[in-house]
């Protein structure tokens, strides 16, 4: 089943801002609209109280599907400098579950790839250096590449980090300075990059001849199966199937040699990509490709059903919140991941219906406002103090530990899980 792409010419994998007319990977014009989430603001462009008085920019947000390589993708690209602004609020290290996950991931990669002391590990989109700190603790050399303001936090915490997007120039600088990397990772950033061609050509420079590139990203199977339309936002230009990734790397000096499903973010795919073409993929690759076919990733009807079910799920949440307000039952939100912006903007839920979102005391998002809806983001101690009737867990993919922590702090409210199916937990 595993086969190289038959397309001889490489499509342009460096996207310009604006509407897209063809597939981001294979260049096909055989695209079908799956779900129109309407015009939305950038999910992480949180607003200050002063900014609420000014204009706000909205961009098209529509999910498309390529019938040829099965890539799920956006119909519109926002310029990277706009998306990853210098006040970018996301930090990996503030989420305990994510820290533990990345420590485990580092251990697995050391085992899977037989990494040794002093091997160089680089992380693209390294954020505050959480993943690299796990490799550093195992006596490996590390280097982060991070385009946002979070890079300075990593440097302050002892993880050497280049404050820049990753490209061929940065790859060349790293090789000249500290050598080739035995492993380059990209966790939940490989779907974000508009200049994907420049990134992969940079990887061809940076990765050692016996090295690997390992990526993790949202995986199309669980996104579809669990109705995760809230993962669709302007940062996520693509939602990969394994088939689409094999197509992508067939255009470059890399081979997909292993793949597995992992639990992070509601369902990810981890793909191991070896430098060069003389590699035999493990059985896991064909097994996962076969699963994609069984699931329906090549079937247009599967995507049409997803679109309608997503609309129904959104309406169910909205109707419940409206009914609570009509009955004077207090209802608020907890947690503010990027995905909650998609959900709340799509549903048209503002502070008149949901008065605030609680966040961890260490979050960079506190005292700001969700874009589009203008719901205030507050310290989640307020939930404990006010004891609302219902609390919507908007980071539902971390629902169990979040609910456990809030219960331990004395919260007695009923919990609402908006996805993958609407659920009330007493």
The domains found in the chain, sorted by start residue, are: 1-298 (3.40.50.150), 318-425 (3.40.50.720)
**Residue 1: per-residue pLDDT:** 44
Tell me: pLDDT of 26 over 80: yes
**Mean pLDDT, the chain, whole residue set:** 94
Residues 6+ apart with CB under 8 A from 9: none
**Per-residue model confidence as pLDDT tens digits over 246-305:** 999 999 999 999 999 998 777 899 999 999 999 999 999 999 999 999 999 999 999 999
Tell me: pLDDT of 2 over 60: no
User: Which has the closest alpha carbon to 339: 380, 395, 275?
Assistant: 395
**Residue 91: per-residue pLDDT:** 61
The three-point CA angle 226-231-233 to 5° equals 150
- Report the pLDDT averaged over residues 184-211: 97
pLDDT > 90 fraction of the chain, expressed in percent and rounded: 89
**Per-residue model confidence as pLDDT tens digits over 68-126:** 999 999 999 998 778 876 565 556 655 677 889 899 999 999 999 999 999 999 999 99
Measured between alpha carbons, how far is 160 from 168 in angstroms, rounded to an integer? 19
Tell me: pLDDT of 3 over 60: no
User: Which has the closest alpha carbon to 409: 356, 337, 375, 361?
Assistant: 361
DSSP states along 133-188: HHHHTTT-EEEEEE-STTHHHHHHTT--EEES---HHHHHHHHHHH--EEEEEEES
CB count within 10 Å of CB 155 equals 16
**Residue 98: per-residue pLDDT:** 82
Confidence class for position 8, pLDDT limits 50, 70, 90: low
Considering only residues 425 and 148, tell me which one the structure prediction assigns the higher pLDDT.
425
Three-class DSSP category at 296:
coil
């Amino acid at each position: 089943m595993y086969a190289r792409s038959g397309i001889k010419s490489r499509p342009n994998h460096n996207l310009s801002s604006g509407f897209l007319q063809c597939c981001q990977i294979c260049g096909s014009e055989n695209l079908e609209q799956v779900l129109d989430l309407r015009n939305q603001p950038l999910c992480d462009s949180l607003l200050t109280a002063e900014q609420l008085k000014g204009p706000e920019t909205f961009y098209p947000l529509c999910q498309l599907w390529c019938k040829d390589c099965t890539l799920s993708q956006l119909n519109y690209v926002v310029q990277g400098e706009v998306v990853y602004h210098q006040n970018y609020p996301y930090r990996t290290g503030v989420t305990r579950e994510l820290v533990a996950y990345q420590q485990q991931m580092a251990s697995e990669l050391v085992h899977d790839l037989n990494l040794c002391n002093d091997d160089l590990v680089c992380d693209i989109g390294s954020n505050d250096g959480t993943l690299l700190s796990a490799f550093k603790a195992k006596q490996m050399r590390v280097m982060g590449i991070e385009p946002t303001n979070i890079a300075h936090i990593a440097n302050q915490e002892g993880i050497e980090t280049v404050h820049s997007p990753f490209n061929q120039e940065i790859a060349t600088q790293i090789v000249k300075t500290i050598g080739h990397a035995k492993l380059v990772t990209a966790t939940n950033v490989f779907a974000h990059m508009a200049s994907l061609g420049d990134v992969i050509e940079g990887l061809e420079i940076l990765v050692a001849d016996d090295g690997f590139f390992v990526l993790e990203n949202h995986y199309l199977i669980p996104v579809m199966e669990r109705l995760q339309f809230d993962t669709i936002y302007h940062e996520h230009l693509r939602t990969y199937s394994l088939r689409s990734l094999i197509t992508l790397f067939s255009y470059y000096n890399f081979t997909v040699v292993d793949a597995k499903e992992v639990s992070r973010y509601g369902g990810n795919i981890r793909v191991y990509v070896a430098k060069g073409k003389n590699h035999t993929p493990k059985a896991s690759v064909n097994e996962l490709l076969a699963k994609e076919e069984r699931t329906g990733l090549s079937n247009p009807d599967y995507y049409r059903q997803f679109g309608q079910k997503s609309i129904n799920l959104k309406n169910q949440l909205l109707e419940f919140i409206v009914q609570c307000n009509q009955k004077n039952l207090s209802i608020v939100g907890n947690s503010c991941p990027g995905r909650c912006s998609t959900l709340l903007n799509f549903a048209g839920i503002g502070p008149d219906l949901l008065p605030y979102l609680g966040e961890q005391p260490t979050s960079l998002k506190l005292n700001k406002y969700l874009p589009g809806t203008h719901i205030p983001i507050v310290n989640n101690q307020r939930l404990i103090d006010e004891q609302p009737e219902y609390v919507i867990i908007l980071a539902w993919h971390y629902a169990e530990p979040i609910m456990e922590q809030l219960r331990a702090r004395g919260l007695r409210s009923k919990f609402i899980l908006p996805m993958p199916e609407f659920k009330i937990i007493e």
